Structure 1
Amino acid sequence: MTTSIIGYPRIGAQRELKFATEKFFKKELSEADLQAVAATQRQANWQKQAAAGIDFIASNDFSFYDTTLDTAFALNIVPKRYQELAVSPLERYFAAARGHQSEAGDVKALAMKKWFNTNYHYMVPEFDDGTEIKLDLTKLLSEYREALALGITTKPVLIGPFTLLKLIRFTGQTQLSDVQEDFVKAYSEILSVLATEEVAWLQLDEPGLVFDLTESDIHLFKAIYTALLPQKQTVKVLLQTYFGDVRDVYSDLIQLDFDGIGLDFVEGRKTAELIQTHGFPADKKLFAGVVNGKNIWRNDYQKTLEILQTLPKDSLIISTSCSLQHVPYTVSAEPELPQDILRHFAFAEEKLLELKDLNDIFYHGQVDSLTANQALFASERYQGNQAVQAKVAALGEADFTRTPTFAQREAIQKDIFQLPKLPTTTIGSFPQTADVRKNRLSYKRGDITKAAYDTFNQEKTKEWIKWQEAVGFDILVHGEFERNDMVEYFGEKLDGYVFTKNAWVQSYGTRCVKPPIVWGDIARVQPLSVADSVYAQSLTDKPLKGMLTGPVTILNWSFPREDISLKASTLQIALAIQEEVLDLEQNGIKIIQIDEAALREKLPLRQTDWNSEYLDWAIPAFRLVHAKVAPETQIHTHMCYSEFTDIIPAIDAMDADVISFEASRSDLSILDALQANGFRTQSGPGVYDIHSPRIPSVEEIQNVIRQILTKVPAEKLWINPDCGLKTRGVTEVKASLENLVKATQDIRAVL
């Protein structure tokens, strides 16, 4: 038993689960049929891992929406508003994830946040005063038994009690300390049930341990497991960590009665040092995360073997650094890419084989796979662009500094645009309906000409421009009907990227993305969006926003190269986007939004590691994009679903003129941080949640705006939804936005 994975993708190799779930939402598929699709996907995952020779195969890592939400429901951490719905258990689960709207009333969804430093989003568990911890292990047990029926013994996976408690949002008088004992009892009962079921191993995921921990955090962790571990009976407990190292608790961790400890050797900066300094107990199994679960490049066996050779061989389990849900299914689904490129990639399936190779080399001395791997890494793989490298090298301080000052620009722009108080706009995209997707697919297949493709998109743009004018929006957008994705679309027009056809990765729920791959140095070789923006602006006398994705987000939502620094790649992209910004400006687009939704993702999870200078290059990279525009050009940016409150000064230092951000699911908590930091940038906190299909009423939006106005001055406030609207339906979008504009106009009238 020497190989393990932490988790596996669950959307389906051809996104089968995604499509089935969306049909279920539309009542086009029964719950029984949806469950059948899910069972098929789980079976395929387990059999794939078993065929690859993986010893520790995960179960209960499957999810219809989110594993954190699954764990919360398993413990009955389900707010009263969902408990009271007269729906099936699965529909109640989806109501918590997406919200629920019926004649009986509306129910908002749980908050959604980024999962640590990834582009995956988790649902924030909510604990109200009526919550009573009690177990429902139906899902965990049924999936364990499903695998067993296939002849596959698995280790069930749950979010561990420490991390779950730290992620929970307590909404009433109940505090964490009030429920600590209840959590220990609940997880003790889980161990008892699993012992009865003769489960050999339970994996408890505790990524919360890789943050900077306070003394109270450490005390909580030790108290939980000191009480819990004596209850494990015959079940062996694997404490699994990922996304960093556990420097604050390692010496305590190895003293506790865990049977296995999973450590990250990819992102864990101090993991190897901790073992060298403190040792590792001979009576525990070390699950060494040496195969990268987040990037798609082949593992360098020689470097990995050098790590493995420093570890206690008798205790060693070779593992992934995190769940493989963060990478696509398989390279074999990409027949259109040439082999000289594909051979450098390892998706989830290929990473299973890498684990087997490493096991065979390390434990059995089989050298054929090592020799082949060494030859791969000795070969030339990347394209270089000397001109781009020279441009980056020549950058100086003036290239990152915009003039005149923010205050001067604000006055100039106020005089030019003559906008009303509380100007209304959207984040950029409008619904990508079936006909929009069909038009794009027909063009890709060669069924229609480029002229026919463009004409269709222009008609859609014209339709939505006319609608925005009729509703009364102050700043318009063109709708982005030509864009498949906010990163892939731009990558396809930049030199240095390669693209996949089926390399989908889950972002949240049924939302999947297909990250482009940085293969060479990045350069702008053609306009990216100018023609579409210029056409849209020609249709209206109102200002129209040019829509771009920022360099940090493009890099963070791509699979980056590993041979050069993230900083160098980001600056290359920034220079390309800068050229586009200046081209838009020259063509009469005077408001340009440069989205940086993923700004925080590469920021170290530990504040004590922030001296890694990430913000010292990420923020200037954004400034580089817009530093040369005229003061009359208004620069917007947008951010969503991340913890921004502790980097507010850095966000202000981006020197944008306006920033919009997700706020509705987090109850506008970011507003206090803006106020406390004297935030100067004009801001647009999202006034309703676009990730839910429910339509907010005029009164609801008015209440939100009034609440915002207690924290943000009216002259600094913009009104907009949380995020782009491409994934939503036309009917709900139009109704919601009509209510948004009406609510704004009513409040504006009395200011």
Structure 2
Amino acid sequence: MSTLTSVSGFPRVGCNRELKKVIEAYWKGAVSLEEGRATAKELRAKHWTLQKNAGINLIPSNDFSYYDQVLDTAILLGAVPQRYRDLNFDNAEDTLFAIGRGYQGEKGDVTALPMKKWFTTNYHYIVPELDDASALQLSSTKPFDEFEEAKALGIHTKPVLVGPYTFLKLARTSAAEELELNDELLEATAAVYVEILERFAQLGASWVQIDEPYLVLDKEDGDVAAFQALYEPILAARSGDVKLLLNTYFGNIGDVYETVNALGFDGVALDFIEGREENLAALKKFGVNDATTIFAGVVNGRNIWRNNYAVSLDVINTVRSVTDRVAVSTASSLLHVPFSTAGEEALGEDVLKHFAFASEKLGEVRDLANLADAADDEVLRSNQALFDGSRVSADPAVQTRLDALTAADFKREPARAERQALQREALNLPLLPTTTIGSFPQTKEVRAERAKLRKGELTREAYDTFIKQQIDEVIRHQEEIGLDVLVHGEFERNDMVEYFGQNLNGFLFTKNAWVQSYGTRCVKPPIVWGDVSRANPITVEWSAYAQSRTDRVMKGMLTGPVTILNWSWPREDITHERQTQQLALAIRDEVLDLEAAGIKVIQIDEAALREKLPLRRSDWHSQYLDWAIPAFRLVHSAVKPSTQIHTHMCYSKFNDIIRDIDAMDADVISFEASRGDLVVLDAIEAANFETEAGPGVYDIHSPRIPSQAEIEERIGEILDKIDASKVWINPDCGLKTRGNAETWPSLENLVKAAQAVRTRVV
């Protein structure tokens, strides 16, 4: 019997972002809901057929979502807060969108639920809200409908569900507190999953995949017992021929594998990319239950580089030394990689042969299963030629500069308190200064002019004139509403990472390699191909121009080295630490040039700092923070004391690394807080945080416009925890994705709120 193949999940936005485009058109009233549903159905059929034709045995269904799979799960389980039910929409999709992005209209005014990073990825999930276990009940037919939809096409799929343990660990109460995993909650949750499995048994499903990525995190007291309490009734209630696959990814489950193994799942999927050594050690120590097939996750769902077949086969053979029941699988969902390398021929065959996107990874899964069954020397030779070390040569100048670094290059003088006093005098800003995070709306006109330049339909001179007009207009508008520290709007930038990569040596760029970040938001990460250095000044000309157009303080805007790496496709032939140091030196050059051009405030965004923090606390410093934090300091350590360094972070949990954030030695940090109910303020207060802080006072990922009173209330909550002399007032993120009709009224209310509060605290 040939080795079974499985895919954990597949990208859903489409090869040309069809889902994004139709949903956003629906939001604007340009298409009907039925047209949106039809597009979604076409995409599902296309993706199932693609996997079937690639020879995948267990093809996922219910991995599709209009917005987010965790939000879908909340709706499936009936965990929809009453305020969203009270909107009384005629269809489920509008309720889903209101939960995910907020709603302000004739049916009511609600903010969105919080949004957080999905483990160590750049995908964002909607945090479920649950106060009452009695509310839990099977409340949606989506998983069953999509299973039947695939069956009608002649494709027998493997339904995928977010697992009950992961769902409950991610969920919060309405007071933003962790759920108490008591017996009532565990029993109610398990009962819904039992009902789901019974329904799938009736429909004739062969396998059901339940994703439990939270198992790879450190366990708190009671976690293992809660996991057992959830799954014992679920496994006991299995009926028909349905087999249950426990899917884990993003790390190892070595500390709980013995429990998992004893429960007797039909399949257990283990990540042999990010959790290889620990998972293999657990298999060798505890063996494999006689009822269980191990799904070996050997095809990376989070990178774009070709699989090294020799390495993967070694893992498969090691697993086979423990059990002969082995399937070949992706290590995680392919949601986190682009759709296909088709259409990227401009990169050239010598480059493209090194890449495998989602569609190509299907072939890798099939190849590895075939190779596990029978050796094929030609396939192996062709694959191994990709890893002969000849892909890229080191840049001697970059290596020399790195080797010359000393401890002094990572430390800024004088101490922060002294610098902050000098900066207050130099900048002469009012109490509670107002600013934005950097970008302003990128309108259709802005994107159209950039496209014309790219296609050669517009001269560089004409394009630059257009950008200057945009900058002039946004400066004028900021001055009119009374913002204190201005930005130039970033109209010349396509993306906060890609734009910088285009001005750095060592990067490559794709045409259409989009990846979903949140909702309908997609990003197109650049590729780190070789050693990195600055090719030319990147932002200096535009920042200097903007400062010349106003007497107010103009903030220079940069992307930090950790974020550039985390939001790119990094190399695999050298360490992340080494790549980040290369980037830090390149951005350091830009910082010093901005300062020389007269820019007194420079923001170095590290939006993704938390994103790649290891999931196991014991690895935080040794494997990440011990080099990531110094890399940021390397960027700004040489500026004058009077130059104010800002940074920005978004949509992550900051509380447990708040002291490490302070150790970045920035002068000011702004961060997302509006969707997190400002819970980070307690951590700031407890840590005696030295950095001045701007917790976001409203959510820019929602189309609703916050009132002045709403923002004043937020500012009051901030001042309850942080001294007014250290507080900045700003939105929670950049405004690029919003429209002008929402942006300017919101900012006017922000400024008025800050001014009103300022009069009360002076």
Question: Does TM, normalized by the shorter one, top 0.5?
Answer: yes
In 2: Cα distance, 1:239 partner to 1:542 partner? 57
**Cα pair distance change 1:293/1:440, threshold 3 Å:** same
Please tell me whether the aligned partners of residues 186 and 229 of structure 2 are also in contact (alpha carbons under 8 angstroms).
no
Q: What SS does the aligned partner of 1:521 have?
A: strand
In 1: Cα distance, 2:315 partner to 2:210 partner? 25
Tell whether 2:503 aligns with 1:501: no
- Amino acid in structure 1 at the alignment position of 2:562: V
Map of 1:252 onto structure 2: 259
Post-superposition CA distance 1:309-353 (Å, at most 9, x none): 111263111011100010001111202111100000000011000
Map of 1:294 onto structure 2: 302
Map of 1:243 onto structure 2: 250
Please tell me whether the aligned partners of residues 65 and 72 of structure 2 are also in contact (alpha carbons under 8 angstroms).
yes
> How do 1:628-707 and structure 2 match up within 5 A?
628-707=638-717
Q: 1:136 offset after TM fit, Å?
A: 2.7
Map of 2:332 onto structure 1: 322
User: Aligned to 1:73, which of 72, 75, 86?
Assistant: 75
Q: 1:64 offset after TM fit, Å?
A: 0.5
Tell whether 2:98 aligns with 1:99: no
Map of 1:41 onto structure 2: 43
Please tell me whether the aligned partners of residues 87 and 108 of structure 2 are also in contact (alpha carbons under 8 angstroms).
no
In 1: Cα distance, 2:11 partner to 2:129 partner? 26
- Amino acid in structure 2 at the alignment position of 1:74: L
> How do 1:214-613 and structure 2 match up within 5 A?
214-234=220-240, 235-268=242-275, 269-312=277-320, 314-378=324-388, 380-613=390-623
In 2: Cα distance, 1:594 partner to 1:376 partner? 36
> How do 1:16-31 and structure 2 match up within 5 A?
16-31=18-33
TM-score by length of 1: 0.99
Post-superposition CA distance 1:123-150 (Å, at most 9, x none): 0001134961111342111111111111
Please tell me whether the aligned partners of residues 99 and 108 of structure 1 are also in contact (alpha carbons under 8 angstroms).
yes
Please tell me whether the aligned partners of residues 254 and 281 of structure 2 are also in contact (alpha carbons under 8 angstroms).
no
In 1: Cα distance, 2:132 partner to 2:389 partner? 61
In 2: Cα distance, 1:314 partner to 1:282 partner? 10
In 2: Cα distance, 1:255 partner to 1:128 partner? 32
Q: What SS does the aligned partner of 1:469 have?
A: helix
Please tell me whether the aligned partners of residues 133 and 188 of structure 2 are also in contact (alpha carbons under 8 angstroms).
no
**Cα pair distance change 1:746/1:45, threshold 3 Å:** same
In 1: Cα distance, 2:384 partner to 2:709 partner? 65
Post-superposition CA distance 1:12-48 (Å, at most 9, x none): 1000000000001111111100000000111111011
Tell whether 2:728 aligns with 1:718: yes
Please tell me whether the aligned partners of residues 79 and 131 of structure 1 are also in contact (alpha carbons under 8 angstroms).
no
Q: What SS does the aligned partner of 1:684 have?
A: strand
- Amino acid in structure 1 at the alignment position of 2:317: Q
Unaligned runs of 5+ in 2: none
TM-score by length of 2: 0.97
Map of 1:176 onto structure 2: 181
In 1: Cα distance, 2:465 partner to 2:211 partner? 51
Q: What SS does the aligned partner of 2:760 have?
A: coil
Q: What SS does the aligned partner of 1:376 have?
A: helix
- Amino acid in structure 1 at the alignment position of 2:312: T
Post-superposition CA distance 1:142-193 (Å, at most 9, x none): 1111111111111100100000010111126984314111001111111111
In 2: Cα distance, 1:613 partner to 1:123 partner? 28
Question: What is the total number of aligned residue pairs between the two structures?
Answer: 751
Q: 1:104 offset after TM fit, Å?
A: 4.7
In 1: Cα distance, 2:105 partner to 2:315 partner? 56
Q: 1:613 offset after TM fit, Å?
A: 3.7
In 2: Cα distance, 1:681 partner to 1:104 partner? 42
Q: 1:611 offset after TM fit, Å?
A: 4.5
Please tell me whether the aligned partners of residues 383 and 519 of structure 1 are also in contact (alpha carbons under 8 angstroms).
no
Please tell me whether the aligned partners of residues 181 and 226 of structure 2 are also in contact (alpha carbons under 8 angstroms).
no
User: Aligned to 1:10, which of 4, 9, 12?
Assistant: 12
Map of 1:195 onto structure 2: 201
In 1: Cα distance, 2:220 partner to 2:111 partner? 33
Unaligned runs of 5+ in 1: none
In 1: Cα distance, 2:621 partner to 2:31 partner? 51
Q: What SS does the aligned partner of 1:592 have?
A: strand
Map of 1:110 onto structure 2: 113
- Amino acid in structure 1 at the alignment position of 2:252: D
Q: What SS does the aligned partner of 1:290 have?
A: strand
> After alignment, is 249-258 or 133-142 more displaced?
133-142
In 1: Cα distance, 2:107 partner to 2:723 partner? 36
Map of 2:130 onto structure 1: 127
Q: 1:103 offset after TM fit, Å?
A: 3.5
Please tell me whether the aligned partners of residues 426 and 720 of structure 1 are also in contact (alpha carbons under 8 angstroms).
yes
In 1: Cα distance, 2:48 partner to 2:379 partner? 24
Q: 1:365 offset after TM fit, Å?
A: 2.4
Tell whether 2:637 aligns with 1:627: yes
Please tell me whether the aligned partners of residues 658 and 681 of structure 1 are also in contact (alpha carbons under 8 angstroms).
yes
In 1: Cα distance, 2:19 partner to 2:230 partner? 36
> After alignment, is 224-233 or 695-704 more displaced?
224-233
- Amino acid in structure 2 at the alignment position of 1:270: E
Post-superposition CA distance 1:686-732 (Å, at most 9, x none): 00000000000000000000111000110000000000000001010
- Amino acid in structure 2 at the alignment position of 1:470: E
In 2: Cα distance, 1:500 partner to 1:628 partner? 34
- Amino acid in structure 2 at the alignment position of 1:95: A
**Cα pair distance change 1:594/1:611, threshold 3 Å:** closer
In 1: Cα distance, 2:681 partner to 2:420 partner? 21
Aligned Cα RMSD in Å? Answer: 1.2
- Amino acid in structure 1 at the alignment position of 2:188: D
> After alignment, is 312-321 or 584-593 more displaced?
312-321
Post-superposition CA distance 1:58-113 (Å, at most 9, x none): 00000101000011101111001101112121100100000000145310101000
In 2: Cα distance, 1:92 partner to 1:613 partner? 41
Q: What SS does the aligned partner of 1:691 have?
A: coil
In 2: Cα distance, 1:535 partner to 1:198 partner? 66
In 2: Cα distance, 1:331 partner to 1:700 partner? 47
Map of 2:738 onto structure 1: 728
